[in-house]
């Protein structure tokens, strides 16, 4: 069984368990709150849950299943579910009419609620596409600096792999990718002479380099929307785990996304050619990062980085790119 097939099977099983749980809750509520008649209103719960979680098709099918369940209980459930005989407002035809009106209303409710859920999800996808479009525009501006653009792309890839190894959720991983792509955007406003200086930087030049973090935040703040979530990550990506970085924050005070970017950033910097030195081997860079655990880096992030390294997940991104 492939990984994709396993995920599909897992998703189906989750759907079944959720729907069965909702049906069970409806039956339980019916037992608790009704000793004389079956409360049909409780059977809207599975339909609403299915509409919210899975959309129009699932909600309609769940509503149909609820109707069939109630009809079955009405026809055959007297022996073990006495309340079933009290469904509806009256005897005979009136009872079935009551159930038909309820069932039709439930099906319409499921269809409409599922449609609203799908529309909401479509709007979310559209916003995400817009968000990625803004990222692409920003990348276009960064492409004027070949090294910074490629460096950011690799950092985003490394950081996403580390985040996946830590089993972080999809939204956090997306934010990490975005922050990785944009973490050095402030360098566009730093002198090229300083960025590509082959000799050792003076203290004044180093202080100017450090300003790329604040300059990047100034560029991103007007954008707003979802992109604002990456601002605290970029602001903290040079903070050290022991508190000796650009800002005095330390340990868990630093966002986990920034702690991941920090490891990915250093790894790529060490394994890439720079104006003042040649690239290290990936193994040398790995050892340096391992030694920095608990001082420069979060030990948990370093452990995840080493695990991904051992599994060869970082190799596809390890080819150094020379600065322009």
- Same domain for 198 and 267, yes or no, is yes
Tell me: do 79 and 153 sit in the same domain.
no
Q: How far is CA 27 from CA 34, 43, 95, 101, 245, in A?
A: 10, 8, 20, 20, 58
Give the CA distances from residue 261 to residues 58, 191, 256, 274, in Å, rounded to whole numbers and listed in that order: 39, 24, 9, 19
Give the per-residue pLDDT at 37: 46
Closest CA to 237 of 308, 199, 186: 186
Look up the domain containing 100 and give its range. 3-123
Residue 132 lies in a domain: no
**Domain limit, last residue, from 89, 123, 157:** 123
Q: Do both 101 and 192 map to the same domain?
A: no
Amino acid 263: pLDDT: 97
What integer pLDDT is reported at residue 293 of this predicted model? 95
Indicate whether 236 and 178 sit together in one domain.
Answer: yes
Q: Which of 57, 89, 123 is the last residue of a domain?
A: 123
In a domain, 129, yes or no: no
Residues 268 and 225 in one domain: yes
119 with 148, same domain: the answer is no
- Are 73 and 103 in contact, with CB atoms under 8 Å apart? no
State whether 193 and 284 are in the same domain.
Answer: yes
Domain CATH code at residue 303: 1.10.3210.10
pLDDT of residue 133: 62
Same domain as 153, residue 10: no
CA distances (Å), origin 70, targets 56, 191, 294: 21, 74, 61
Instruction: Check residue 13 and give its pLDDT.
Output: 54
* pLDDT tens profile 178-195: 899 888 888 877 777 777
pTM above 0.75, yes or no: no
User: In which residue ranges of the chain is pLDDT below 70?
Assistant: 1-43, 73, 76-95, 126-146, 198, 223-226, 316-324
* 224 plus 151 within the same structural domain: yes
d(CA 100, CA 87): 11
Residues 283 and 161 in one domain: yes
DSSP bridge partners of 297: 293
* Pair 147, 109 in one domain: no
The tally of domains found in the chain comes to 2
Co-location of 161 and 114 in the same domain: no
* Angle, vertex CA 196, rays to CA 192 and CA 200, nearest 5: 125
The residue assigned the tokens 């566009």 is 188
């Amino acid at each position: 069984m492939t990984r994709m097939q396993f995920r599909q099977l897992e998703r189906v099983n989750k759907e079944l368990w959720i729907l069965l749980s909702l049906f069970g809750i409806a039956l339980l509520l019916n037992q608790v709150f009704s000793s004389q008649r079956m409360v049909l209103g409780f059977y809207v719960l599975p339909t609403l849950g299915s509409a919210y979680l899975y959309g129009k098709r699932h909600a309609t099918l769940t509503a149909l299943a609820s109707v069939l369940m109630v009809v079955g209980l009405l026809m055959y459930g007297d022996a073990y579910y006495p309340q079933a005989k009290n469904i509806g407002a009256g005897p005979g035809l009136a009872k079935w009419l009551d159930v038909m009106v309820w069932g039709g209303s439930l099906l319409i409710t499921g269809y409409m609620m599922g449609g609203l859920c799908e529309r909401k999800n479509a709007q979310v996808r559209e916003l995400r596409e817009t968000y990625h479009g803004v990222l692409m525009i920003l990348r276009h501006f960064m492409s004027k600096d070949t090294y910074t653009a490629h460096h950011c792309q690799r950092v985003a890839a490394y950081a996403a792999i580390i985040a996946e190894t830590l089993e972080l959720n999809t939204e956090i991983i997306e934010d990490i990718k975005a922050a990785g792509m944009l973490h050095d955007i402030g360098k566009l406003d730093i002198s090229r002479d300083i960025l590509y200086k082959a000799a050792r930087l003076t203290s004044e030049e180093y202080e100017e380099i450090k300003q790329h973090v604040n300059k990047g935040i100034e560029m991103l703040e007007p954008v707003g929307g979802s992109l604002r979530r990456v601002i605290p990550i970029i602001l903290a990506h040079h903070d050290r785990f022991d508190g000796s970085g650009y800002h005095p924050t330390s340990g868990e005070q630093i966002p986990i996304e920034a702690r991941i970017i920090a490891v990915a950033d250093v790894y790529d910097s060490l394994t890439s050619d720079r104006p003042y030195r040649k690239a290290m081997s990936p193994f040398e860079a790995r050892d340096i990062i391992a030694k920095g655990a608990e001082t420069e880096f979060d030990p948990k992030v370093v452990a995840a980085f080493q695990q991904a390294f051992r599994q060869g997940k970082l190799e596809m991104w390890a080819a150094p790119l020379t600065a322009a």
